[in-house]
Each structure stands twice: as structure tokens, then as C-alpha cells.
Amino acid sequence: MQAKTEHFSTDLQTIAQYARLLSHPARVAIIYLLAEKKQCISGDIAEELPLSRSTVSQHLQELKQGGLIKGEICGLNVNYCLNTEKWQEVRQYFEYFFNQTTTSFDCDC
């Protein structure tokens, strides 16, 4: 069954896309590492996580394709860092989402 995403607003689709990018603990761990260290070489990231280099590389590519991180070739290495402009956008989308959904926690069920 194909998802009918076109029936949802662009904002909802964007929030869902960011949530999908953050839906794996390895990608969240990578984000934490990059936030802490400001910049990392992919091999250094792989040493910090209990995953193979190829698996870490796949997660890095997903994050990069989603715009959450940047990767710049430096010699034989790729240096990764957070895309701070995109993170501001992500933050705004999630703040809006959480503000809209937490205005009232009372449920009559």
C-alpha cells in the first residue's frame, strides 16, 4: 500500500521527514557527537559507535542527504559537521509541532 503523503500539508510532510531522519539511535548519536565536537572525520565517528564503518557511513549519508549535516572532503577524509541553518529550521518545525500538540494534555477518555 502506497502512502498518500500528497494529502497532507507541506509542513506535516516536512516534520515527518525530519522525524524519519532522527528515528534511528545511531543517527541521533551521530548528531550528539557532531554537536559536542563541532566537526568529526567519519572514521572517528565510527570509532565512537558500536557499528561497522560501512553502517556509520550509510547513516552519515542519510543525514547528509536530509540536509542535517554537511560533509567536506579534506584530503583522504570527509569532515562532517552539523548544518546549523537546517537545524534552526528543524527546531522551528518541532517547536511548532509540540506547541500545537501540547496546548492541553487533559483527555476525557
Structural domain harbouring 61 = 22-96
pLDDT on residue 74: 83
pTM of model > 0.85: no
> Which triple of cell numbers denotes residue 34?
557532531
Q: Is residue 39 part of a domain?
A: yes
pLDDT on residue 44: 86
How many independent structural domains does the chain possess? 1
pLDDT on residue 2: 53
Q: Is residue 33 part of a domain?
A: yes
Beta-bridge partner residues of 72:
79
Are 42 and 56 spatial neighbours (Cβ–Cβ below 8 Å)? yes
Per-residue pLDDT of the chain (109 residues; tens, 9 = 90+): 456 778 899 999 999 999 999 999 999 999 999 999 887 888 889 899 999 999 999 999 999 999 999 998 888 888 999 999 999 999 999 999 998 887 666 666 6
> Which triple of cell numbers denotes residue 62?
542519510
pLDDT on residue 109: 62
Q: Residue 57: give its domain's CATH number.
A: 1.10.10.10
| Alpha-helix runs per DSSP H in 1-109 | 10-21, 25-37, 42-48, 53-65, 84-101
